[in-house]
């Protein structure tokens, strides 16, 4: 006896259902991603492109769509203040990268030696990172104050000729800022390095001990090569932070004495909001962007290009 | 999942119990050789650590002692020495009387401004970042990876490049100079790190859990609020720490996107300390500086390891 | 036309990830109340197929029907399926009761109804005392029961299992296997079960679909799969220790390979006329007669034992046949030493013959 169930018997071809439009699927997910998409496209891409675009115009107090080619860049590179900014950033950048990396890694290896009170030491090394650059700058401005600070204290101990007044010396002022920057930023590097060291398989240490390799040699020959990606990432982080250097200078010296501690970010701010010379600000910030790109491209190549081949 | 490990431990203890007649552990010394505390190695190790710790603590110490001294003592004494004549007057003055321009109501104005900026900025930025991270981890769409890459690269773009056009955009929508304009700016610049944090966290939630919830009929928001959120308290705390310290410490956006009346604490602090008028009151300045650093320091000391985890998680993968 | 008693029907299902074909125009009909096992090694597409049926993956092409309804583009919750995962996938912050009722709450089932359904499922699975515990406080076996319960409360037509026992230790796995079989007998739901474990497949399945590279290599009862594998891949995949293969050629009903000649009297050829050709014969280690049974076997010979692996219930003897390693499974009591001459017997009716080129059964 043939029993038919009309609802259940279906000819597959007749019942073929087309794929619904992709646009209509997961509507809530699409709505939820609107802010993210807007931020990425309008702000990060759009605003960046806008600034680069307007750096080729004759914008002054207000943005103006009158193209002047590379004029703004010509003017920028013939401004002594810009050159000082670049020199300062170069000195500060290279030294702070070397010093925070070296000191941060050194501290991380010390703490990785199963130190008693590791938490206390880590807390001490890292707390400056929680403070703002303004607070950091003002604190060090006070310590480096020639009348009351380190110089005064050493002199009062009987060493009358002692001179240590970096914040009022055109040649030394950037090093005075460097001291504060290192104080603020080393803890972060230490933390990342420590995380990297902890990520290394403990069996590697056991194997090195079984093979009778001394500790320092294990670091130089095994650990540091294994930490290469961590070093590279940290370096990129520190470098991108260095380029943003602004608040610290603003608080500690405000560019002084006599513009000797100017930095590019401050140059941009002063051009845009002080001198009302937007074109210069756009050109200078485009140069900052360019330097970030120069840092990022080799990193991206090392990080992602290498992986694809390997 | 945790069970085999537990079973393993129990079994191991049992075996030892058998051999030692119920003591539970083997007699005699266990672990490594006993260490002498005062070896040359240890002296160098801890000596170095203590010296460096002193360098890191020095500014905090100097700020503290200065803020409790009178100006007379500061002029005569040593900045490292503790106060002989203890006074809290500088703190009171910094909080309630210090002048910026024509206003002489102290840092309290900046403090409350910062609080009003902080609370909505933290809430909005974390809400947007967490939902975005969840979308990127669990509801990928065409181009979502590209958006994610742009967001991460956005972390490296110098703020100066985007400041001016953002100001124009804020002006167009009528938010320039307002509190909500600054909230938007903090949300924007908090995105890269926090989206990365949330995306990585949500990606580490087993995919099968997500599938099970879909079979159970939960949708986008159902899964987010009822499955993901209850599981991700730690990452929200980490993100909150990052945002609270970051937004409180902000100077640049405060200067640009707010007006005199609404300046956050950092801006007001800088104006007080670096003002060129009047005689410098270093004790008041240091009290003001410490007051401004108090909120992030409190967050830092209260959060302990989570702070470390937050910056390490963000940094190592960033 | 779909047969009236078809539960799940898959038509020309294709799935591509970029250039990779994960499922290749796959067709499969699963009967109402059937326990179907999708078996294969990792990467064969079995889990992908299950995820497509569940609606967790979108196929590139093709249609899926459940109970005659085209569900190809429906949400997972609209398909009348319940799913049990390898990692259990219990919601960690909810109690067992919360886990069981989550789907019903999402479907806005009335409270009283939820309670009675949860109570019934808990009773069936004997997890009533655990209802107010969190998953973290449960053992692996209990967690898996809750995971099954979550599918049970929803009164679904089809149960989908994605390697549900793989995370359990061997003993618990055997226990839960029996329980699953009992559950299937009492519920009579259609069950689709993905595993890479052939013992699970053989013991649980009404029918097994063996998959490889996104294709079904053979669909049949455990008995068919074991005794009449349709191709060399299936023959090799099923059975442990695996089947012995000897290469040679078929000539007028006799298999010739190296120094071996087997008259295939009693072998059931797939077609009435099978032309002479290069061929492979497969003989399961347990189908080689030894000891007193040799005398009753149609074909007899003798080999030299080279290696002996006593396994308790059985003894596995490695020898050589036609220049190739040849495994013989003997009784656990058998006492054989390397170097012993061993009389063996082979019954062609139990052997499998494959075309050497296509590897299909002859």
From the centroid of its chain, how far is CA C271?
27
What pLDDT, in 10s, does the model give residues A30-52? Answer: 899 999 999 999 999 999 999 99
CA distance A236 to A240: 6
Nearest to B74 among A39, A143, A148 (CB): A148
Distances C309 to B292, C286, C291, C294, C342 between C-alpha atoms, Å: 77, 14, 17, 21, 15
**Above pLDDT 70, what percent of chain B?**
85
Q: Which helix (H) or strand (E) holds B220?
A: helix B220-223
Question: Which residues of chain A lie closer than 8 angstroms to C1, CB-CB?
Answer: 9-11
Q: Which helix (H) or strand (E) holds B298?
A: helix B282-303
Q: Which residue has the higher pLDDT, C39 or C18?
A: C39
How confident is residue B186, by pLDDT bands cut at 50, 70 and 90?
Answer: very high
Q: Residue A80 burial by CB count (10 A; 0-12/13-18/19+): exposed, middle or buried?
A: exposed
For residue A68, what pLDDT is reported?
86
Point out the least confidently predicted range of A5-19, A108-122, C46-60.
A5-19
Q: Which of C85, C103, C136 sits opposite B217 (nearest CB)?
A: C103
Given a cut of 60, is residue B4 above it in pLDDT?
no
> What distance in Å separates the CA atoms of residue C173 and residue C199, rounded to the nearest whole number?
11
Instruction: Report DSSP state, residue A89.
Output: H
**pLDDT tens digits, B76-99:** 878 888 888 888 888 988 888 887
| C66 or A306, greater pLDDT | C66
DSSP letter (8 states) at residue A167: G
Mean pLDDT of chain C: 90
What pLDDT shows up at residue A8? 42
pLDDT at C114 over 90: yes
pLDDT band at B30 (very low <50, low <70, confident <90, very high): very low
Confidence check: pLDDT of C322 > 70 = yes
Residues of C within an 8 Å Cβ radius of B: 51, 54-56, 75-77, 81-83, 85-87, 89-93, 102-103, 106-107, 136, 139-140, 150, 154, 162, 167, 169
Q: Encode pLDDT of C215-234 as tens digits.
A: 999 999 999 999 999 999 99
Q: Do B157 and A121 touch (CB under 8 A)?
A: no
Residue C40: pLDDT over 70: yes
Q: How confident is the model at residue C201 (pLDDT cuts 50, 70, 90)?
A: very high
Distance in Å, alpha carbon of A20 to nearest chain C alpha carbon: 7
pLDDT at C129: 93
This prediction has a pTM of 0.84
Nearest by Cα to C182 from C100, C125, C122: C125
Report in angstroms the alpha-carbon separations of B235 from A136, B149, C102.
28, 21, 25
Residue of chain A minimizing CA distance to B283: A142
Q: Is A259 left (phi over 0), alpha (psi -120 to 50) or beta?
A: left
**Mean pLDDT score across all residues of chain A:** 85
β-pairing verdict for C207-212 and C35-39: parallel
pLDDT of the residue at C261: 83
Residue C82, pLDDT above cutoff 50? yes
State the pLDDT at residue A4. Answer: 41
More confident residue, C140 or A310: C140
Measured in angstroms, the CA of B215 and the nearest CA of chain C are apart by 5
* H-type alpha helices, chain A: 27-32, 34-38, 48-54, 71-77, 80-111, 118-130, 133-143, 150-156, 173-198, 202-210, 215-218, 224-226, 228-243, 247-252, 264-269, 278-300, 306-309
Determine the pLDDT at residue B313: 59
Which residues of chain C are within 8 Å of residue B215 when distances are taken between CB atoms?
Answer: 54, 56, 76-77, 81-83, 103
For chain A, percent of residues with pLDDT exceeding 90: 38
A11–C70 C-beta distance less than 8 A: no
> Does the beta-carbon distance from A128 to B59 stay under 8 Å?
yes
Identify the residue with better confidence: B30 or A71.
A71
3-state secondary structure of C74: coil
pLDDT band at C4 (very low <50, low <70, confident <90, very high): low
Return the number of CB contacts < 8 Å for A and C: 39
Rg of chain A in Å (alpha carbons): 28
Intrachain domains C6-230 and C234-355 with the same fold: no
CATH of C234-355, one of 2.40.50.140, 3.90.580.10, 1.20.120.530, 3.90.1150.10: 2.40.50.140
Say yes or no to pLDDT of C332 above 50: yes
CB neighbour class for B42 (10 Å; exposed up to 12, middle 13-18, buried from 19):
middle
What pLDDT score does B11 carry? 33
Residue count of chain B: 318
Is residue B221 within 8 A of residue B127, CB to CB? The reply is: no
Q: What is d(CA A64, CA A54) in angstroms, rounded to the nearest whole number? A: 8
pLDDT of the residue at C137? 92
Query: Which chains are within 8 Å of A by 3+ CB pairs?
Result: B, C
The pLDDT-based confidence of B316 (bands split at 50, 70, 90) is very low
Q: How confident is the model at residue B60 (pLDDT cuts 50, 70, 90)?
A: very high
Q: What is the mean pLDDT of residues B191-209?
A: 90
CATH numbers and ranges of domains, chain B: 40-87 (no CATH), 108-313 (1.10.3720.10)
Report whether A259 contacts A81 (CB < 8 A).
yes
What torsion, rounded to 10 degrees, do the Cα atoms C76, C82, C86, C91 define? Answer: 80
CA distance C67 to C64: 10
Q: Give the largest Cα separation in chain A, rounded.
A: 118
CA distance C332 to C290: 12
Sheet strand arrangement including C341-346? C288-289, C341-346, C299-304
Distance CA C281, CA B71 (A): 103
Q: Is A21 on the interface with C (CB under 8 A)?
A: no
* Cβ-defined contact of B301 to A26 (cutoff 8 Å): no
C61-72 core/surface letters (b: 16 or more CB in 10 A; e: else)? ebbbbbbbbbbb
Nearest to A124 among B57, B195, B249 (CB): B57
Q: From the CA atom positions of chain B, what is the Rg in Å?
A: 27
B66 or C334, greater pLDDT: B66
Residue of B nearest to A183 (CA): B56
DSSP conformation class of C41: S
Residue B315 banded pLDDT, cuts 50, 70, 90: low
User: Are C2 and A8 a contacting pair at CB < 8 A?
Assistant: yes
Q: Is the pLDDT of residue C195 over 80?
A: yes
How far apart are the CA of B119 and the nearest CA of chain C, in angstroms? 28
Ranges A206-215, A243-252, B68-77, C1-10: which has the least confidence? C1-10
Q: For residue B25, what pLDDT is reported?
A: 38
Q: How far is B21 from chain A (nearest CA, A)?
A: 33
Q: Chain-centre distance of CA C156, in angstroms?
A: 23
What band does C116 get if pLDDT is binned at 50, 70 and 90? very high
- Residue A23 CA to residue C347 CA, distance in Å, equals 63
CB B291 within 8 A of CB B90: no
Could you tell me the residue ranges of all domains in chain C? 6-230, 234-355
Q: In this complex, do C4 and A8 lie within 8 Å of one another by their Cβ atoms?
A: yes
CA B218 – CA B229 distance, rounded (Å) = 14
Tell me how close the Cα of B224 comes to any Cα of chain A, in angstroms: 11
**C-alpha distance from C93 to closest chain A C-alpha (Å):** 24
Strands C288-289 and C341-346 come out as antiparallel
pLDDT band at A305 (very low <50, low <70, confident <90, very high): low
Superfamily of domain C6-230: P-loop containing nucleotide triphosphate hydrolases (3.40.50.300)
Helices assigned H by DSSP within chain C: 46-54, 96-106, 111-125, 140-152, 170-187, 198-204, 222-227, 232-237
Query: Which residues of chain A are within 8 Å of residue B219 when distances are taken between CB atoms?
Result: 28
Please return the burial class of A307, using the count of CB atoms within 10 Å of its CB with bins 0-12, 13-18 and 19+: exposed
- Distance (Å) of CA A10 to CA C69, C159, C163: 8, 22, 31
Q: What is the pLDDT of residue B37?
A: 63
Among A14-23, A166-175, B191-200, C275-284, name the one with the lowest average pLDDT.
A14-23
- What average pLDDT does this structure show over C265-270? 85
| Cβ neighbours for A212, distance < 8 A, ≥ 6 positions apart | none
Q: How far apart are CA C344 and CA C300, in angstroms?
A: 6
Instruction: Write down the CATH superfamily of domain A72-309.
Output: MetI-like (1.10.3720.10)
Contact status, residue A131 vs residue B56, Cβ threshold 8 Å? no
> In angstroms, rounded to a whole number, what is the distance separating the alpha carbons of residues A291 and C335?
80
- Looking at residue A306, what is its pLDDT? 53
**CA of A35, closest CA in chain C: separation in Å?**
26
> Cβ contacts (< 8 Å) between A287 and chain B: which residues?
none
Q: Which residues of A225-259 are buried (b: 16+ CB within 10 A; e: fewer)?
A: eebeebbebbbbbbbbbbbbbbbbbbbbbbbeeeb
């Amino acid at each position: 006896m043939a029993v038919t169930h009309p609802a259940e018997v279906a000819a597959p071809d007749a019942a073929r259902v087309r794929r619904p439009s992709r646009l209509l699927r997961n509507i809530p997910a699409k709505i939820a991603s609107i802010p993210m998409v807007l931020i990425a496209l309008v702000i990060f891409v759009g605003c960046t492109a806008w600034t680069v675009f307007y750096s080729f115009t004759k914008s002054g107090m207000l943005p103006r769509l009158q193209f002047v080619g590379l004029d703004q860049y010509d003017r920028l590179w013939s401004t002594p203040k810009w050159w000082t900014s670049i020199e300062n950033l170069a000195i500060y950048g290279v030294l702070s990268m070397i010093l925070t990396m070296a000191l941060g890694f050194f501290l991380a290896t010390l703490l990785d030696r199963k130190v008693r009170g590791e938490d206390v030491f880590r807390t001490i090394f890292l707390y400056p990172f929680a403070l703002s650059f303004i607070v950091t700058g003002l604190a060090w401005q006070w310590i480096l104050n020639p009348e009351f600070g380190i110089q005064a204290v050493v002199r009062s101990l009987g060493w009358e000729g002692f001179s240590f007044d970096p914040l009022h010396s055109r040649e030394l002022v950037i090093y005075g800022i460097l001291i504060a920057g290192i104080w603020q930023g080393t803890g972060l590097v230490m933390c990342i390095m420590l995380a990297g060291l902890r990520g290394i398989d403990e069996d590697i240490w056991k194997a090195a001990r079984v093979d009778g390799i001394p500790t320092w040699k294990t670091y130089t020959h095994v650990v540091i090569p294994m930490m290469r990606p961590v070093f590279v990432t940290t370096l990129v982080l520190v470098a991108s932070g260095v380029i943003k250097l602004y608040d610290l200078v603003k608080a500690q010296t405000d560019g002084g004495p006599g513009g000797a501690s100017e930095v590019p970010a401050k140059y941009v701010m002063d051009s845009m909001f002080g001198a009302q010379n937007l074109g210069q600000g756009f050109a200078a910030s485009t140069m900052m962007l360019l330097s970030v790109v120069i840092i990022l491209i080799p990193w991206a190549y090392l990080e992602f290009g290498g992986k694809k081949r390997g | 999942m945790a069970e085999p490990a537990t079973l393993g431990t129990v079994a191991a203890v049992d075996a030892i119990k058998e051999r030692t007649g119920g003591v539970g552990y083997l007699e005699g010394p266990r672990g490594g050789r006993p260490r002498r505390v005062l070896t040359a190695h240890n002296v160098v190790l801890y000596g170095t650590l203590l010296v460096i710790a002193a360098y890191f603590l020095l500014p905090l110490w100097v700020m503290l002692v200065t803020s409790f001294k009178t100006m007379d003592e500061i002029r005569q004494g040593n900045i490292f020495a503790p106060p002989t004549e203890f006074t809290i007057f500088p703190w009171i003055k910094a909080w309630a009387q210090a002048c910026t321009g024509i206003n002489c109501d102290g840092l309290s104005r900046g403090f409350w401004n910062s609080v009003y900026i902080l609370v909505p900025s933290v809430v909005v930025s974390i809400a947007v970042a967490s939902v975005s991270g969840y979308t990127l981890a669990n509801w990928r769409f065409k181009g979502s990876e590209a958006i994610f890459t742009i967001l991460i690269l956005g972390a490296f773009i110098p703020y100066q490049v985007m400041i001016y056009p953002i100001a124009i955009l804020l002006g167009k929508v009528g938010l320039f100079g307002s509190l909500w304009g600054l909230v938007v700016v903090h949300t924007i610049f908090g995105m890269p790190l926090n989206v990365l944090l949330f995306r990585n966290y949500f990606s580490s939630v087993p995919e099968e859990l997500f599938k099970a919830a879909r079979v159970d009929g939960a949708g986008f928001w159902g899964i987010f609020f009822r499955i993901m959120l209850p599981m991700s308290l730690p990452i929200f705390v980490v993100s909150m720490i990052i945002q609270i310290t970051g937004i409180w410490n902000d100077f640049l956006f405060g200067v640009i996107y707010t007006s005199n009346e609404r300046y956050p604490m950092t801006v007001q602090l800088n104006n007080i300390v670096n003002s060129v008028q009047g005689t410098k009151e270093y004790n008041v300045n240091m009290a003001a500086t410490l007051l401004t650093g108090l909120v992030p320091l409190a967050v830092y000391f209260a959060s302990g390891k989570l702070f470390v985890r937050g910056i390490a998680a963000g940094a190592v993968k960033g | 036309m779909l047969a009236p008693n078809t539960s799940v029907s898959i038509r020309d299902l294709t799935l591509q990830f970029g250039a990779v074909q994960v499922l290749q125009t796959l067709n499969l009909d699963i009967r109402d109340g059937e326990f179907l096992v999708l078996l294969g090694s990792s990467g064969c597409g079995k889990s992908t197929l299950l995820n497509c049926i569940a609606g967790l993956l979108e196929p590139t092409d093709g249609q899926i029907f459940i109970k005659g309804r085209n569900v190809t583009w429906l949400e997972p919750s609209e398909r009348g399926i319940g799913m049990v995962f390898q990692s259990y996938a219990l919601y960690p912050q909810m109690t067992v009761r919360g886990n069981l009722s989550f789907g019903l709450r999402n479907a806005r089932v009335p409270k009283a109804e939820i309670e009675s359904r949860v109570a019934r499922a808990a009773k069936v699975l004997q997890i009533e005392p655990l209802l107010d515990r969190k998953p973290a406080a449960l053992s692996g076996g209990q967690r898996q029961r809750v995971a099954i319960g979550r599918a049970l409360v929803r009164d679904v037509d089809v149960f989908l299992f994605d390697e549900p026992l793989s995370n359990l230790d061997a003993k618990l796995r055997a226990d839960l296997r029996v329980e699953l079989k009992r559950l299937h007998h009492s519920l009579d739901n259609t069950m689709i079960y993905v595993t890479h474990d052939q013992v699970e497949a053989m013991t649980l399945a009404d029918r097994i679909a063996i998959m490889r590279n996104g294709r079904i290599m053979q669909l049949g009862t455990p008995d068919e799969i074991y005794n009449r594998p349709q191709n060399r891949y299936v023959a090799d995949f099923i059975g442990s220790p695996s089947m012995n293969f000897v290469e040679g050629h078929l000539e007028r009903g006799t298999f010739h390979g190296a120094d071996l000649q087997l008259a295939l009297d009693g072998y059931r050829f797939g077609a009435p006329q099978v032309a002479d050709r290069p061929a492979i014969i497969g003989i399961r280690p347990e189908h080689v007669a030894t000891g007193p049974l040799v005398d009753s076997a149609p074909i007899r010979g003798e080999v030299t034992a080279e290696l002996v692996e006593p396994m308790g219930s059985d003894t596995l003897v490695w020898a050589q046949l036609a220049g190739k390693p040849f495994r013989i499974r003997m009784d656990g009591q058998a006492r054989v030493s390397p170097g012993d001459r061993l009389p063996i017997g082979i019954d062609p009716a139990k052997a499998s013959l494959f075309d050497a080129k296509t590897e299909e059964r002859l």
